Structures are given as C-alpha cells and as structure tokens.
Amino acid sequence: MARISPLSGFPEWLPDGRVVEQHVLDVLRRTFELHGFAGIETRAVEPLDQLLRKGETSKEVYVLRRLQDEVATSEGDAASAGSPRSEKQLGLHFDLTVPFARYVLENAGRLAFPFKRYQIQKVWRGERPQDGRFREFCQADIDVVGAGELPYHFEVELPLVMAEALGALREIGVPEVRVLVNNRRVAEGFYRGLGIEDVEGVLRQIDKLDKIGPDRVAELLVAEQGATPQQAGACLDLAAISGADVAVIERVRALADRHGACTELLETGLSELSALIEAASTRAPGVVVADLKIARGLDYYTGSVYETVLVGHEELGSICSGGRYDTLASDGKNTYPGVGLSIGVSRLVSRLLSAGLLTATRGVPTAVLVAVSDEESRAASDAVAAALRARGVPTDVAPSAAKFGKQIKYADRRGIPFVWFPGDEHQVKDIRSGEQVEADPATWHPAAADLWPRVVPAGE
C-alpha cells in the first residue's frame, strides 16, 4: 500500500474526538426535535446547473464524473458543458440550503407548510484549506419554509432555537456564544434614505469591515459605490452600532434623523429588529446582540441576518449563520419564503478539540470488559456480557485469555472503567480505584456517570 498521509482540508477524528462530535450532533438533534423540526437528508449531489445558479460559488464546486465516462470521452474536452454524454453533470453540494430548496420544490405537494426541517450532513467546497475552513465539513441546519408567505415571528424563533441548542452545549465546555443579528431592511432603508442606490454593493463592502477596517471600507465606498464621504461616514456610523437591548433601536433612529435618512423601509426593519431583541431578552438573556455591521454580503437575504461567534474565539469567524430569504425556492407558480441558520459543526468541533476545551471520558462506548480465564470458558464470559448488554450496559469481552494483568491493561488503555471476572462468584473491579466487589450479572449496574462515555470540560 502506498504511503498514507492526511488530506489537507478533510478532517477526521480519532475515536475520542468522534465521541465529542457525536455528542454535539446528538444535542443539536435533540434540541431541533424538541422544537418540532423534522429531520431530512438530501442526496450529496445536485445537477451542476442548479449549484451554479447563483454564480458566486462556481469555483468551489466539486464536479463528479464516473471513471468510465471519462475514459469514453477522453478524446474530447471532458470539461465542456456541451458534453456528448446523456447524463446531467453532477456536483457535490456546497451547503444544505440549495438542496433543501430543490427538495421543497420536488416534494411540495407532499409536504405540509410551513415546513420545519433540520438537516445534518457533510458538504464540500474546493476552497484552499485553512484554520476553520475545510473542504469537507459537517453542517447542521434548521429552516422553516412557507408556501407563499412566512410570518415574521419565525425570524425571531429560529435564532433562539440555535441559541438554545448551542447553550445546551455549555455544560460540556463549549464557550458562551453571541448571536449577532441585523435586518437587511434597516440597512437598505437607511442607505436609500441617504440617497445611495447600490445597496448590494455597500453591503458587500460593509461585510469587509472586520477584515480591512473602517478607513479602507470608507475609501472603497467612495471609489466603488460612488458614495460621498458623508454618505460613507454615515454607513460606517450605522455599522458601528450594536447592543443587546432595544436602546439600540433608538440609536439607529437618532442616526437616521441626523442624516435625514428615515424611510418607511427603515422603520419596518427597526420594528422587526426590535421584536427580535425584545423576545431574545426574555428567552435567551445576554445571548442575542443587535449588530448593525452584520451584512452577510454575498447571500441573498431579504430580512433578518444572523451570525454567531464563540466568545473568546471571535477570530474563528461565525460558527452559525443564516437569515431570511423571501424566495428560498420558486417554481414559477409558487414562491417559498424561508428563514434558517446553519451551524458549522466541523469548524466548531475542530476548535473545541484543538483548543483543548473539553475531553471525552473515553474513546470507546464500553463500560465493562469481561475477562476471559481460558479460551474454553469464553462462552461463560460471553454470557456475562450478554446479560449486561441486555440491561443496557455497553460491554466488551477480552480478546484473548491473557494474564489478568494484561486484560486489565487492555481496559485501562481504552479508558474502560470496570473489569468483570466471571466465576461461581462473579467479581467486578473498578480499575481506577482498585476496588473489587462481588456482583451479579443479572442486577449489577455501573454508576450513571460511568455507563456511557461523556464529554466534559477540560480539567474536570
């Protein structure tokens, strides 16, 4: 076999890392389900033309081809769009939103709207790998999509579901999160009030604030969007406003007043943003912060937008983003507005592991290793294991009838807390304390904390 080396951008975890990831996924799933989101999965591939619909992402798409097709067409240009093959070109999905929109259209007649779904799957992007950016990564998305209409209150609820889901991870050592929220209508209403036409262009520049700073953004707004220095300054003043309570709304209104930039759209946006901040202050105090610089420049959101940072790890970027689309999907006849957020699970888990913030109590599910005295009595050990498993205790049997010291070492290396010695009188040993007691396979149970591997904050 050829030399094996990891592929950059394609993260894999050792078993104890996977215990952490699986725990995170289990907690997310449970929270989503408690809120009534139905789990779905979509295929990993979409027709290339669907994936490239928005243009912007074309360079990140992995295109698929069957090896035999390549051989068959290797004479010609295998990359040409007008390929002679009858089958559609397929690519790997780069997010879960495009496939979900397609799933909604494909199954519209069989779904009940508003349709709430969660989706936890891998996605692929051919980007240059770097810290927190992978070529293959796991996303956990929630979205709600309506047929024709979707009430605003969902824009309040969905970020709160995510805040709850991420909050449920605090006890295992995941840092606090801040959900940063904004509303496209506020920005658009304000910009239009200032007399700016190129709203999309301004949002794209504002999106660069964290990377290049306000001075450079101001220059770009003047140079590329044709803003006056006064307009650029006002845009930056708006972007500088943030706060966790509704006072922030008044600050925006005052700024707009000063610039004579009050519009009906701005007022609509502000009343929406205000409702979100107010609900959040009751349901997730301190978690949701209005941050007027949140632009999500490249995405086609039309109302609320969200980003989420891990407190203390802000430089990692957003670990959970999303917003409201007025047209998540449309089939010409019907339009399906939606709102949703997506957690970058791999980015989150990768940081949790590399920063040593938490740890799995063990990398195997096993709570008990049943020792084997000699190969002839393996069936007796198997019977003990079966009795324990029947009562929900994850149990392994020693792979060989080695000396007991070696069997205990087998357990120790894996973090298995108990070794069971079968016999006329069974005994079970807690190998951490060395305590050994008589026990009955039909009734003995480990402490709840030892039953399954747990994920705990580092140092616990």
Q: State which of positions 1-20 bind a copy of itself (CB under 8 A).
A: 1-2, 4-7, 10-15, 18-19
**With CB under 8 A as the contact rule, which of the stretches 208-216, 296-304, 359-367, 430-438 interacts with a copy of itself?**
359-367
Q: Which of 239, 364, 387, 439 binds a copy of itself (CB under 8 A)?
A: 364
Q: Which of 20, 93, 97, 102 binds a copy of itself (CB under 8 A)?
A: 102
Q: Judged by CB under 8 A, does residue 363 bind a copy of itself?
A: yes
CA distance 353 to 138: 15
Residue nearer to a copy of itself on the CB measure, 397 or 408: 397
**With CB under 8 A as the contact rule, which of the stretches 202-210, 236-244, 262-270, 327-335 interacts with a copy of itself?**
327-335
Q: Which of 56, 85, 131, 153 binds a copy of itself (CB under 8 A)?
A: 153
Give pairs for 196-203: CB < 8 Å, separation 24+.
196/225, 196/227, 196/231, 196/235, 198/225, 198/226, 201/225, 202/227, 202/235, 203/295, 203/296, 203/297
Judged by phi (left if over 0) then psi (alpha if -120 to 50, else beta), residue 253 lies in alpha
Residues with Cβ < 8 Å from 277, sequence gap 6 or more? 181, 244, 245, 246, 248, 249, 288, 290
Residue nearer to a copy of itself on the CB measure, 251 or 452: 452
CA distance 428 to 368: 9
Q: Which of 20, 37, 428, 444 binds a copy of itself (CB under 8 A)?
A: 37
Residues with Cβ < 8 Å from 76, sequence gap 6 or more? 83, 84
Q: Which of 34, 254, 449, 458 binds a copy of itself (CB under 8 A)?
A: 34
- Residue 448 corresponds to which tokens in the numbers above? 């709840």
DSSP per-residue string spanning 101-136: HHHHHHHGGGSPSSEEEEEEEEEE--PPPBTTB-SE
Of 208, 189, 181, which is closest to residue 305 (Cα–Cα)?
A: 181
Q: Which of residues 107-136 bind a copy of itself (CB under 8 A)?
A: 107, 110-112, 114, 116-117, 122, 124, 126, 136
Residue nearer to a copy of itself on the CB measure, 147 or 199: 147
**379 and 397 in contact (C-beta within 8 Å)?**
no
Q: Which of 105, 199, 240, 456 binds a copy of itself (CB under 8 A)?
A: 105
**With CB under 8 A as the contact rule, which of the stretches 146-154, 223-231, 260-268, 297-305 interacts with a copy of itself?**
146-154
Q: Which of 27, 61, 289, 428 binds a copy of itself (CB under 8 A)?
A: 61
Q: Judged by CB under 8 A, does residue 73 bind a copy of itself?
A: yes
**99 and 93 in contact (C-beta within 8 Å)?**
yes
* Minimum distance from residue 98 beta carbon to a copy of itself (Å): 10
Q: Which of residues 437-456 bind a copy of itself (CB under 8 A)?
A: 452
